[in-house]
Each structure stands twice: as C-alpha cells, then as structure tokens.
C-alpha cells in the first residue's frame, strides 16, 4: 500500500444559527429601510472584527484578541447570530485560560462560523451592496 493512499481530507462545515425572532424584531422596531441599513453596517463591522481577531492572533496580542472576540459576542447577539456569538465567547474563554493551541483552533472555527453567518444573514435578508 502506498502512503498516499492513507491520506484523508477532512472537510469542515460549520452550521450556523440565526435567531429569526431577533431579526424580525429589528425590522418591526426600525422599519424595513432602517433595519436593512443597520444589518448592512453590522455585517461590515462583523467582517472587519473577524479580520482583526485573526490579525491579533498572528501578533499574539492576547488582550486585544479577547477584547475583539467579546465585541463580536455583543454585536452578533444584537442581530440574532447565536452561533457566532457562542464561538466568539469560546475564543475569549480560551484566551482567559491561557491556552494558545485551543485559542488557535477556536479562532479558526470562529472564522468559519463568521463567514457562514455573514453569508446566511446576507442571503436571508436578500441584501445587496
């Protein structure tokens, strides 16, 4: 048997959860036009903060990474991105525990969940640039 025959490729797919009640409440509270505006700005801000988290990880700025992850929790909860909020909280907890390996793994998961969450909100709301 060839060694190459033993290679297995793992495909990582993350499920995301959106709280439709939270999104619907946002639309009821702000109206359609204002809610879309808020969601567009929120999606942009979340994308920037996800990128910042990755940069802070590369710089080994643990305090900055923790702060950035906690801000992702707060923002994502406001628009009903429950999975993103949970994983961002996990990143903050691994930083608090001083576990760099777990932080790296959890941050990778945060990036995957973040990308899928942003796409899900974008698709669900049929937002356009």
One DSSP character per residue, 56-86 reads HHHTT-HHHHHHHHHHHHHHHHHTTBHHHHH
Surface-to-core class of residue 14, CB atoms within 10 Å of its CB (0-12 exposed, 13-18 middle, 19+ buried): middle
If you average pLDDT over every residue of the chain, what do you get? 87
pTM for this one? 0.82
Name the DSSP letter for residue 36.
H
Of residues 127 and 38, more confidence is placed in 38
What confidence score (pLDDT) does residue 8 get?
Answer: 61
Architecture per CATH, 20-126: Up-down Bundle (1.20)
Q: Say yes or no to pLDDT of 119 above 70.
A: yes
Q: Given 3-state DSSP classes, what are the helix, strand and coil percentages for the chain, each rounded to the nearest 5?
A: 80, 0, 20
Q: Say yes or no to pLDDT of 12 above 70.
A: no
Residue range 64-83, pLDDT digits in tens: 999 999 999 999 998 889 99
Q: Say yes or no to pLDDT of 90 above 50.
A: yes
What confidence score (pLDDT) does residue 64 get?
Answer: 98
Tell me the domain boundaries of the chain. Answer: 20-126
Mean per-residue pLDDT for 93-103? 97
The answer to whether 20 and 120 have CB atoms below 8 angstroms apart is no
What confidence score (pLDDT) does residue 10 get?
Answer: 57
Q: Find, among 40, 44, 46, the residue nearest to 16 by Cα.
A: 46
Model confidence band, residue 124 (pLDDT cutoffs 50, 70, 90): low
Q: Please list the residues that pair with 18 across neighbouring strands.
A: 81
Backbone angles phi, psi at 41, to 5 degrees: -65, -35
With H, G, I as helix, E, B as strand and everything else as coil, classify residue 18: strand
């Amino acid at each position: 048997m060839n060694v190459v025959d033993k290679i297995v490729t793992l495909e990582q797919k993350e499920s995301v959860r959106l709280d439709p009640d939270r999104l619907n409440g946002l639309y009821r509270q702000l109206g359609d036009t204002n809610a879309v505006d808020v969601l567009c700005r929120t999606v942009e801000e979340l994308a920037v903060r996800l990128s910042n988290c990755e940069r802070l990880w590369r710089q080994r700025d643990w305090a900055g990474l923790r702060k950035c992850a906690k801000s992702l929790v707060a923002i994502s909860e406001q628009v009903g991105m429950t999975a993103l909020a949970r994983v961002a909280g996990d990143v903050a907890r691994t930083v608090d525990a001083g576990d760099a390996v777990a932080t790296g793994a959890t941050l990778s998961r945060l990036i995957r969940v973040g990308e899928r969450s942003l796409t899900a909100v974008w698709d669900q709301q049929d937002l356009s640039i």
